[in-house]
Structure 1
Amino acid sequence: MAQELLLYVLVVVIAGLLSLFLCGYAVWKIKDAPGARYYILVTFMSAVFTFAYAFELMGTSLEEIRLWLRIEYLALPFIPVFLLLMCLDYVGQRLKPWICYTLNVIPIITIFMHNTNSLHHLYYKSMKLRSDTPFPTIDLEGGPWFYIHSIFLFLCFMMSIIILLMQLKKSSFKFRMQILLMIAGLMIPLLANYFYINGLSPSGIDLGPVSMSISFLFHGIALVSFQMFNVTPIARDIVFENMQEGVIVLNQNNVIVDYNGTMLQLIPKLNKHAIGKPIRDVLRSNPRLAEIISNKQECDYKISLGGEHVYYHIRFSPVQNKKNISIGRIVTFANVTERVHIQEELKKLASTDGLTKVFNRTFFMEKIEEVFQSLTINGGGVSIIMFDIDHFKKVNDTFGHAIGDHILVHVADTAKKSLRNTDIMGRYGGEEFIICMANTPLYQACEFAETLREEIAKENRLINGEEVVITSSFGVSHAYINAGESQYSIHSLMKQADEALYAAKGKGRNCVQSYRQALGIVK
């Protein structure tokens, strides 16, 4: 075998292996994605065509070469059709089945005309070996159907290119790169065919097989580098980029394959280089959000934007192929800030006493239940203060309920000003209030109660021209709870505070009594 021929055969075989590799890679990685099934078919057909052409080059007789030429034509006529269908599927356009079948009519006729050419010579007028080449090369003179098929092939390629070019303006950067790579891949076989038909190729070698493998290499680069076919591409931009909701698309391996512009506000690290990276890698600085997305945890998510808290509801939608097999998921971030604020306001209204704006009795009990559960686990001291307004019934009877309400609000506001962030205050009923002070010793709770008593008493209220002195009585109870201990209960501690309050009233009101003092135990 001549050295020059060996080099050509080696190049063609490598081209065939490349087509076969890309076919296998597509079957393994993207077989269910848009356009992928036609990519698989066209790379397989190209591999068949290319390997058959390698054997044609090694043929030593006209009959042997014609045999391999017939095998080439079992695949070659369908390649332009599958390329066209791939491009249509890629941009989201679906042809009706009868149109797809019609497109295959000319390739089927071409195969028939090629295999029966010796009967009518409508495909090749003549077939002979060239005498001006260093190794046997077939010289073909095209007949009428040869040119029909050539025009059909050219039209399929041109329609594929036009379809892709029409999407350039609509597309984002990453899809433009895909389109340009695909167009470049489609242009290469056209140029190679031009050289071959016009006798410009070396030694009459058909550059088509090698050119198509290079073409699919361009497609392969788009496939690997820009995630070609991993999402429904191109046409999605019309709706996708205009959505007010943030949307990020992940494949089955939690790898980012797409996102819209709204997501840039939520995840500033998103950019074109994030495409193809695992979501956890992009969210390394935000492990909470990474965990939510990885665990498919539908929930509300709070984020600070421009110094304000904004709430998004994260939900997940599966992406399935036509066989209902999951190939990824869409993560949607819907702005629910208004809804959260309404819910918080409703919760506040449901938990707050309408007059004094402190917790109502029901919600207060829920809050201190949480405190006691924490103390039971971790241990610590807790103090309960119960107090009420002295002779409040007399105030109501003398000045009316409107004045009584005014005094209640005044006392509640005075108490709220003195509370720490960890203290919990509620209206227990009527003129009676209760305060829970976690991790607070008895002496400190008594000092707080005494200070509050003085604050309430020092400012007399002028009612209907008459100065009214407002005083209050306080009862304080305390318990230290060891971790794991269940000896004390909320109700028992509240009962002790109530008994201490009763003792304070027995001492003449306007004073503070602890439960220990009420029992006669020295403080």
Structure 2
Amino acid sequence: MPRELSLYILVIILAGALSLFLCLFALLKIKDAPGAKPYIIVTLLSSIFTFSYALELSSTSLEQIIFWLRVEYLALPFIPVFLLLMCIEYIGHRIKKVWKYALFIIPFITIFMHYTNDSHHFYYKSMGLRGDSPFPIIKLVGGPWFYVHSLFLFLCVMISIIILLRQLKNSSFRFRMQISMMVAGLLIPILANYYYINGLSSYGIDLGPVSMSITFIFHGAALLTFQMFNVAPIARETVFESMKEGVIVLNQQGLIVDYNHGMRKVIPLLDEHTIGKSITSLLNGNQHLREIIDLKQDSDFTCSINGDMVHYHIGFSPVFNKSNLPIGQIITFADVTERVLMLEKLKQLASLDGLTQILNRTFFIKKSEILFDALSREGGSVSIIMFDIDHFKNVNDTFGHEAGDAVIMHVANTAKEYIREGDLLGRYGGEEFIVSLPNTALPTAYELADVIREKVSESISEVNGEKISVTCSFGVTHASIEAGDRGHSIQTLMPLADQALYAAKKNGRNCVRIIA
């Protein structure tokens, strides 16, 4: 066997072995992924075609060559169909079964025409050995159907290329690289077929088998380097990228498989180079988020983005294959900032009195109970002031309820001016108010009450041109609480403050009285 032929046969065998390797790899690793099944079939058909052609070149007679040529044609007509189906599935589309079956009509006719060629010569006009070759090479003169088959192959490959190229515009860097490699691989058989049909190849050797394997080298590179079938199809990428939620996909080992643009707000280090890296390697500076992802439990998370506090709800969804085995997880970051702020606003509204915007009675008592619990644990003191507006009924009867509301707001605002941060001011009911003063001595509480009393009595409210002045009466009580003492509460001190208030009213109003 001439050295040149032996070298070419070796190249063809290596190409066939590569196709077979990619077929087995896809079968074992990615059989359930979009486009994987056509990929498995097309690489298997390519290996059959390639090995058969190697045996054809090794043949020493025309009869042997024709035998292996027929074996080749059991695989060759179907290769362009499965290439097209692979590209269609890859972009996330499905075609109706009737159209899928229709794609196989020409391949089956091609096989029939090829096997019955001796009866009609529609496929090959003539078949014989070349006279200008140093080794047996068949010379084929194509008939009408041979060119139909060639045109069909060309159209399938071109449609596949067009389908892929249409996705370039709206695709990410990763998908653009995949598409570019797939398109480059698909162009190679077209060039090889052009050389072969036009008699430009050396001794008329068919370049198709090697070109097909080079195609799968490109596809294999996309498969292994860019994880071609381990991410969502291109057609789904539009939905994936337009999701408001940040989404990141991890495999079983915690390696990053994919992410959308929204995730980069949360993890700015994400880029195309982080695909295949461990998620924990990107979170070394964010221990809280790393702990949440390690626990794999739904959780709330707050972070600062461009100086604004953003609230997320992190959700975990396992990903299973068709055998119901876990193969990874999807982590979603739903921006719930608006909801959190709305809940805080509603909580605030629920805790405030609608007219005065100070604590309502229910929330005042709840906050005071928390205060007393802290004092019972640590020890301390507390003073309580209760006060109301003197002769308030006369204000309503004389000037109307609108004026009464204005007076209540004026008194509340005056009290708010003089209480400290940490003190609690609430509207106890109607025209009555209450104040909790943690760690405040009785004389200090008395002085505060007297200042508020004086300021209210000196001020004048004006409503609809009417000038209204009012006074207030105050009752003050106090308790010292030792650590562990549970004998005092807001409920035990309020009656004492109320008794002191009653004493102030009995004493002529517009004054402060104490019951300790």
**TM-score above 0.5, yes or no:** yes
Secondary structure of the equivalent of 1:388? strand
132-141 vs 75-84, greater mean Cα deviation? 132-141
> Is 1:388 aligned to 2:386, yes or no?
yes
Aligned partners of 1:405, 1:151: CA distance in 2, in Å? 89
C-alpha change, 1:97 and 1:321, in structure 2 (3 Å) is farther
Residue 480 of structure 1 deviates from its aligned partner by: 4.4
328-337 vs 44-53, greater mean Cα deviation? 328-337
Q: Which residue of 2 aligns with 1:475?
A: 477
Question: 1:152-198: per-residue Cα shift (whole Å, max 9, x none)?
Answer: 11121122222223333344443333222111010111122223334
C-alpha change, 1:42 and 1:375, in structure 2 (3 Å) is farther
Q: Which residue of 2 aligns with 1:493?
A: 489
Aligned partners of 1:447, 1:68: CA distance in 2, in Å? 112
Indicate if the aligned counterparts of 2:389 and 2:471 stay in contact, CA closer than 8 A.
no
Q: Which residue of 1 aligns with 2:50?
A: 50
Q: Which residue of 2 aligns with 1:209?
A: 209
Q: Which residue of 2 aligns with 1:97?
A: 97
Q: Give ranges in structure 2 of 5+ residues lacking alignment.
A: 461-465
Secondary structure of the equivalent of 1:217? helix
Secondary structure of the equivalent of 2:475? strand
Letter in 1 for 2:53: Y
Q: Which residue of 1 aligns with 2:82?
A: 82
Q: Give ranges in structure 1 of 5+ residues lacking alignment.
A: 519-523
Question: 1:376-410: per-residue Cα shift (whole Å, max 9, x none)?
Answer: 9xx53364432112xx4643255458677666545
Indicate if the aligned counterparts of 2:251 and 2:257 stay in contact, CA closer than 8 A.
no
- Among candidates 452, 455, 467, match of residue 456 of structure 1: 452
Aligned partners of 2:68, 2:177: CA distance in 1, in Å? 38
Alignment of 1:127-276 (within 5 A): 127-130=127-130, 133=133, 135-202=135-202, 204-236=204-236, 243=242, 245-248=244-247, 250=249, 253=252, 255-260=256-261, 264-265=264-265, 267-276=267-276
Aligned partners of 2:424, 2:232: CA distance in 1, in Å? 54
C-alpha change, 1:468 and 1:95, in structure 2 (3 Å) is closer
> Is 1:433 aligned to 2:434, yes or no?
yes
Residue 339 of structure 1 deviates from its aligned partner by: 4.8
Aligned partners of 2:49, 2:372: CA distance in 1, in Å? 79
C-alpha change, 1:400 and 1:106, in structure 2 (3 Å) is closer
Aligned partners of 1:56, 1:419: CA distance in 2, in Å? 100
- How many aligned positions are there? 497
Aligned partners of 1:426, 1:59: CA distance in 2, in Å? 102
Letter in 1 for 2:386: D
Residue 16 of structure 1 deviates from its aligned partner by: 2.2
Aligned partners of 1:322, 1:59: CA distance in 2, in Å? 45
Aligned partners of 1:108, 1:428: CA distance in 2, in Å? 90
Q: Which residue of 2 aligns with 1:521?
A: none
Indicate if the aligned counterparts of 2:384 and 2:477 stay in contact, CA closer than 8 A.
yes
C-alpha change, 1:219 and 1:110, in structure 2 (3 Å) is same
C-alpha change, 1:447 and 1:223, in structure 2 (3 Å) is farther
Indicate if the aligned counterparts of 2:78 and 2:107 stay in contact, CA closer than 8 A.
yes
419-428 vs 5-14, greater mean Cα deviation? 419-428
CA-atom RMSD, angstroms? 4.2
Aligned partners of 1:404, 1:480: CA distance in 2, in Å? 42
Q: Which residue of 2 aligns with 1:35?
A: 35
Aligned partners of 2:355, 2:228: CA distance in 1, in Å? 63
Residue 151 of structure 1 deviates from its aligned partner by: 1.9
Aligned partners of 2:118, 2:206: CA distance in 1, in Å? 22
Aligned partners of 1:349, 1:472: CA distance in 2, in Å? 28
Alignment of 1:5-44 (within 5 A): 5-44=5-44
Secondary structure of the equivalent of 2:258? strand
Indicate if the aligned counterparts of 2:385 and 2:449 stay in contact, CA closer than 8 A.
no
What TM-score do you get using the length of structure 1 for normalisation? Answer: 0.77
What TM-score do you get using the length of structure 2 for normalisation? Answer: 0.78
Letter in 2 for 1:361: R
Aligned partners of 1:116, 1:375: CA distance in 2, in Å? 101
Q: Which residue of 1 aligns with 2:73?
A: 73
Aligned partners of 2:78, 2:371: CA distance in 1, in Å? 75
Residue 365 of structure 1 deviates from its aligned partner by: 4.0
Indicate if the aligned counterparts of 1:73 and 1:111 stay in contact, CA closer than 8 A.
yes
Question: 1:190-230: per-residue Cα shift (whole Å, max 9, x none)?
Answer: 12222333444345443322221221221222234444344
Aligned partners of 1:123, 1:272: CA distance in 2, in Å? 49
